[in-house]
Amino acid sequence: MRSMHFKREKLARMAPDSSALHLTNDAPRPAAGRGRILDVHGLRVGFGGPAIVDGVDLAMEPGELLCLVGESGSGKSLTALSVMRLLPPGARLTADRFAFDGQDLASASEEAMNRLRGDRIAMVFQEPMTSLNPVMSVGDQMTEILEAHRGLGRKEAREVALAMLRRVKIPDPEARLDAYPHQLSGGMRQRVMIAMALICRPALLIADEPTTALDVTIQSQILHLLDELRAELGAAVLFITHNLALVAEIADRIAVMYAGRIVESGSRADLFADPQHPYTLSLLAALPREEDVGRPLTAIDGQPPAAGQMPTGCRFAPRCPFAVEKCRAAYPPLAELAPGHAVACWRAPLERNVA
Amino acid sequence: MTAPLLEVRGLNKIYRSGGGFLRAPREAQVVKDVGFTVGRGEVFGLVGESGSGKTTIGRMLLRLTEADSGEILFDGQDVRALGPAALRGFRRRAQMIFQDPFASLDPRVRVGDAIAAPIRLHGLRPAGSVKDRVVELLEMVGLSAAHADRHPHAFSGGQRQRVAIARALAVEPELIVCDEPVSALDLSVQAQVVNLLADLSARLGVAYVFISHDMAVVRHLASHVGVLYAGRLVETGPAAAVLGAPRHPYTRMLLAASPRPHAAGRRERAEATGEPPSPYGREPGCRFASRCPHAVAACRAAEPPLDAFADGARFAACIRAAELGPETAPAPEGAPSPAFQTRMALLRAARAEGRAASPDAPA
């Protein structure tokens, strides 16, 4: 504990950037360096054996909301944790390019990462109860961040924390500042998590299934809030989810992941009006819709491949009704069919290639 | 006219906590005055958010949790009055499937033995033919004889849920209470299990009480639905009517908040507000009043009864339901794009063809 405090003090001295802490200043913080806030190319993460995340490309503009959609085991959470460099012990990360705001994350020291985390890159997890400290008041957890990253005094930090709680629309914020996590409802806890994540005005917020544990009426409030705050604070959001319907509500751009790779990426309109990859199509077909009542859903046969048993060619080929020899022989590259709309499928566009 | 398969009237459940020698325990009424009817072979969807009492109701139906008051009539027989022997007989006719199949299957018991246990217990097959029946059940849910010798850990989530379904079917029940059976499954697997449940109900004539928070899945499977809010049914009726043209403001909020896949862009929607009330020490009046955009003073005075509408098939517990009128169906998302339709047709055709070519593939 003592060494942690020491570290925090040191960090506070090292990062005295107080210009960005005043939440009254509503102008979005300009992203240093033009263009992409996140630029990932050929990201690979594995645990000694075959790579679990196997060649992922992600590019994000400042302020944009990118949804990374995938089923459990697709590697989406591992991708998110890679950006935070919070991988489990034993994980090996390699990448051709892995830059946040022009800074190489793959080679960044642990100290440099500590400066970034919670400050310029922040994260919200699915279950706030496991990421909030149960024996620390909400206020203390929030001010701790400001003390560490901004070197603020307690009183000043408390005021900023209070302003942030107001901003995430927590009723009676003064009282909540002294509340403990267990005294809050699930929705309120997630609001606290968001307040903590945004308190240093990060340029990138990673939200890993932030509403999955919540009821739909609470989920819709949290999504609304996230959208409002990202516009206000100018943060880019990497939103990880398995819920395809949800993606339609919030995404600027979408990347669909399957078995460790991105199979299709594009704007929301691209993915929902012009879906190309058979996996994307299959997911859309599997969603129960009003017009499907009374007939079977179009299910995807089989299951995703296990990590140790990846097919050599396209990983979706064993479950794909359009698969041909070529698909089983070689993995298709993620290629642009139209500007901004990329798909990793030998047979796309299907209407031309499937007779 | 025979009695409906299941008839529930005035069901109540109060949990008491704390309290001591001189202090009265705190009371939380988690289910209040719930009633509904399920016909033979019918799927009744019970929708609601966490804490609405849907799981407690499901458990009370099978007497896994005892109700405080109310009637549960199964085939005309009062379930709450059954003695131990009669209860065993009842549980042969009514089964349950849970959300997490890993938690409901013993990790040390081979799947084949888990399915055989209820067959032996109820003496449904002569000892020599139990094995054949197990294989038959495994095949019925899209698994094969080879799966019988494996332990639950060797199965994926979707397969485990198939095993749980096979075990529930082993006693040839007339009713299965399904508590969020597909909520923990990935979308691609969820569709398989939804299809399986629909298929089994149609083929075997088994009725479901299908508990879920997912409106789209309930709409797909259920013929009738009941919408629960804070322990009380606020709206019931045919699924198409209730979920297509909701009358109760809570049903409307729930539907508006449910995300739908579409390319049209962000919906400008009336934002859902507030959170459900605490089950302790309820305020008088309608329990949704604090979140309701239409609430008036009268709503806070007395709890509104679950009233029938003109056609008699629908009920809503809202004094303003008639005045507010049915909500027009949620704004259409626009016709799917030609590219979407073309490729979807290709996909359906290809899947159908694939299945025809290899009939052994699990549906």
DSSP H helices, chain A, are: 2-14, 76-84, 110-116, 128-131, 138-150, 154-167, 173-177, 186-198, 216-233, 244-250, 268-273, 278-286, 325-329, 350-353
* pLDDT reported for residue B274: 82
The whole-number pLDDT of residue A13 equals 37
Distance CA A157, CA A140 (A): 9
pLDDT of B266 higher than 70? no
- CA A289 and chain centroid, separation: 27
pLDDT digits (tens, 9 = 90+) for A246-261: 888 889 999 999 999 9
Q: Do A217 and B49 touch (CB under 8 A)?
A: yes
Q: Tell me the C-alpha distance between A70 and A262, whole Å.
A: 9
Please list, in sequence order, all residues whose beta carbon lies within 8 angstroms of the beta carbon of residue B226, skipping any fewer than 6 positions away. B34, B36, B44, B45, B46, B47, B233, B235, B236
Residues 6+ apart with CB under 8 A from A248: A268, A272, B259, B260, B261, B262, B263
Q: Which of A8-12, A202-206, B217-221, B237-241 has the weakest average pLDDT?
A: A8-12
Residue B336 vs residue B237, higher pLDDT: B237
Three-class SS state of A42: strand
**B363, B355 contact by CB (below 8 A):** yes
- Whether residue A297 and residue B220 make contact (CB cut-off 8 A), yes or no, is yes
In this predicted structure, what is the pLDDT of residue B248? Answer: 93
**Can you tell me which residue has the tokens 């679990």?**
A52
Q: Which residues of A38-50 are buried (b: 16+ CB within 10 A; e: fewer)?
A: bbbeebbbbeeee
Tally A–B CB contacts below 8 A: 165
Tell which A residues from 269 to 288 touch B, by Cβ distance under 8 Å: 269, 271-276, 278, 281-288
Q: pLDDT tier at B1 (50, 70, 90 boundaries)?
A: low
pLDDT attached to residue A224: 87
Q: Residue B312 — very low, low, confident or very high, per pLDDT cuts 50/70/90?
A: confident
3-class DSSP state for residue B279?
coil
Residue appearing with tokens 């302790």:
B280
Q: What sign results for the dihedral spanned by CA atoms A185, A189, A195, A198?
A: negative
Mean pLDDT of the B7-29 span? 88
By C-alpha distance, the chain A residue nearest B329 is A290
- Whether residue B216 and residue A289 make contact (CB cut-off 8 A), yes or no, is yes
Instruction: Provide the mean pLDDT of chain B.
Output: 88
**Alpha carbon distance B233, B221 (integer Å):** 19
In chain A, residues with a C-beta closer than 8 Å to the C-beta of B244 are: 290
Q: What percent helix, strand, coil does chain A show, rounded to 5?
A: 40, 20, 40
The pLDDT of B53-63, averaged and rounded, is 94
Q: Do A71 and B187 touch (CB under 8 A)?
A: yes
Find the mean pLDDT for residues B289-304: 92
Q: What separation in angstroms does the CA of B90 have from each of B44, B62, B95, B175?
A: 19, 8, 9, 10
Q: Does A172 touch chain B (CB under 8 A)?
A: no
Q: Do A298 and B191 touch (CB under 8 A)?
A: yes
CA distances from B296 to A2, A98, B230, B249, B320 (A): 57, 57, 19, 13, 9
B272 touches chain A (CB under 8 A): yes
Selecting from B158, B217, B275 the residue whose C-beta is nearest the C-beta of A185 gives B275
* pLDDT tens track for A277-320: 999 999 999 888 888 888 888 888 888 888 778 888 999 999 99
Task: For residue A38, give both structure tokens.
Answer: 């996140």
The residues, any chain, with a CB within 8 Å of residue B278's CB and separated by 6 or more, are B28
Pick the closest to residue B102 from B138, B152, B148 (CA basis).
B152
Residue A169 is predicted with a pLDDT of 87
Task: Report yes or no: B16 at the A interface, CB cutoff 8 Å.
Answer: no
* Separation of alpha carbons B198 and A149, rounded Å: 55
The residue behind tokens 């499928």 is: A345
User: Which residue carries 């049914």 as its tokens?
Assistant: B233
The CA distances from residue A4 to A7, A9, A10, A199, A312, in Å, are 5, 9, 10, 21, 46
Which chain A residues are within 8 Å of B353, Cβ to Cβ?
321
In order of their start, the domains of chain B are 6-222 (3.40.50.300)
Question: Which chain B residues are closer than 8 Å to A187 by Cβ?
Answer: 275
Distance CA A141, CA A32 (A): 28
- CA of B3 to nearest chain A CA: how many angstroms apart? 26
> How high is the ipTM of this complex?
0.85
Q: Is A185 on the interface with B (CB under 8 A)?
A: yes
- Which helix (H) or strand (E) segment holds residue B59: the answer is helix B54-61
pLDDT of amino acid A33: 41
**Do residues A50 and A308 make contact, with C-beta atoms less than 8 angstroms apart?**
yes
Residue B45 is classified by DSSP as E
pLDDT value at position A217? 87
Pick from A316, A219, A239, A191: nearest CA to A77: A239
Least trusted range by pLDDT, from A10-24, A45-59, B31-45, B129-143: A10-24
Residues in B touching A75 (Cβ below 8 Å)? none
Q: What is the pLDDT of residue B268?
A: 56
- Give the domain ranges of chain A: 131-199, 272-290+306-353
C-alpha distance from residue B2 to each of B52, B172, B201 (Å): 32, 20, 20
Angle at B164 between CA B161 and CA B167, to 5 degrees: 150
CA angle, A128 as apex, A124 and A134 as ends, to 5°? Answer: 130
**Lookup: tokens for A37:** 């806030």
B7: tokens are 């008839």
Token pair of B244, please? 């297509």
Q: Is the pLDDT of residue B234 over 80?
A: yes
* Per-residue pLDDT tens listing for chain A (355 residues): 334 443 443 333 333 333 333 333 333 434 444 589 999 999 999 988 888 999 999 999 999 999 999 988 899 999 999 999 999 888 999 999 999 999 999 889 999 999 999 899 999 988 777 788 999 999 999 999 999 898 888 899 999 999 999 988 888 899 999 999 999 888 889 899 999 999 999 999 999 998 888 888 888 888 888 888 888 888 999 999 988 888 888 899 999 999 999 999 999 999 999 999 999 999 999 888 888 888 888 888 888 888 778 888 999 999 999 999 999 999 999 999 999 999 999 998 999 988 6
